């Protein structure tokens, strides 16, 4: 995990998402990072300037393609992981 504390909750998906955005891949992880981009930048993370528009809708659409019945709960779970990561990072930044 490059610049992150591996103990942060959700670090794995955030690290993957940052790399996917850099590589121009639209993945679940990349869209999650795009959703959190403003806060992540505020916390000092290098989020690419070019992020997909409407990442919330795009993420949900990607999850529906995987499993329509589980899309809503998976979406909420991913958002909780993002928020947990941001909160942990904010505590360390203080």
Tens-digit pLDDT profile for residues 64-79: 999 999 999 999 999 9
Domain count, the chain: 1
Residue 45: predicted pLDDT: 93
In-domain check, residue 2: no
Distance CA 42, CA 16 (A): 19
Taking 90 as the threshold, does the pLDDT of residue 4 lie above it? no
Q: Tokens in use for 91?
A: 């505590």
In-domain check, residue 1: no
8 Å CB contact between 79 and 35: yes
Across the range 19-30, mean pLDDT stands at 96
In-domain check, residue 78: yes
In-domain check, residue 47: yes
Residue 1: predicted pLDDT: 35
In-domain check, residue 86: yes
pLDDT band for 2, please (50, 70, 90 cuts): very low
In-domain check, residue 4: no
Domain ranges, residue 17: 11-93
pLDDT band for 30, please (50, 70, 90 cuts): very high
């Amino acid at each position: 995990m490059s610049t992150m504390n591996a103990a942060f909750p959700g670090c794995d998906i955030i690290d993957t998402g940052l790399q996917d955005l850099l590589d121009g891949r639209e993945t679940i992880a990349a869209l999650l990072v795009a959703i959190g981009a403003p806060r992540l930048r505020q916390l000092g993370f290098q989020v690419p300037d070019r992020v997909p528009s409407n990442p919330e809708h795009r993420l949900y659409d990607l999850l529906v393609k995987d499993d329509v019945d589980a899309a809503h709960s998976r979406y909420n779970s991913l958002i909780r992981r993002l928020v947990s990561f941001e909160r942990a990072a904010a505590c360390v930044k203080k």
